[in-house]
Amino acid sequence: MTVIVSAAPASAASYVDKRANPCVGCNPGIVVEYWYKKGSHSRGVGWIYAGKDNPAAGKTYYARWLYKKPGGSWKVGKSWRKGTKVHNSSESWIEVDWGRGGHTGPKFPRNTKIAIQFKGSGTKRAATLK
């Protein structure tokens, strides 16, 4: 009689990967890639993207990201980062991003809000880690 015993490795299948893009076409815009283990109440943030359409010519743009845990107040995640101007034949925009993607980055409780803000603007665009 042959008995084969194997321990199943913790695979990527035990993770849930999500992308929050709450307002397609909004200016400014935000995309957050996050992940969590099934059944977990914490969320890992792997990548955050901030975009702004129709930037003024010759102006330098900076953005930062913030977070707000449930019941808490807004706190800065990362300070101001200089944006990169991107353009094609018909439009231009500013991009700023943080992180590497994948199962990396800081962890937050479920229902934490992640927001981006461009310097000089009081407007924040937020996504919720569900």
Q: Where are the chain's structural domains?
A: 15-128
**For position 72, what pLDDT does the model report?**
98
Q: Is the peptide bond before 22 cis (omega within 30 degrees of 0)?
A: no
The answer to whether residues 74 and 68 touch, using CB atoms and an 8 Å cutoff, is yes
Distance CA 55, CA 51 (A): 10
- pLDDT at position 25, please? 80
pTM (two decimals): 0.86
User: How far apart are alpha carbons 56 and 43 in whole angstroms?
Assistant: 36
Query: What integer pLDDT is reported at residue 12 of this predicted model?
Result: 54
Q: What's the CATH number of domain 15-128, 1.20.120, 2.40.160, 2.60.40, 2.30.30?
A: 2.60.40
Q: Along the 130 residues of the chain, how does pLDDT read in single tens digits?
A: 444 444 444 555 589 999 998 887 889 999 999 999 999 999 999 999 999 998 998 999 999 999 999 999 999 999 999 999 998 888 899 999 999 988 999 999 999 999 999 999 989 999 999 9
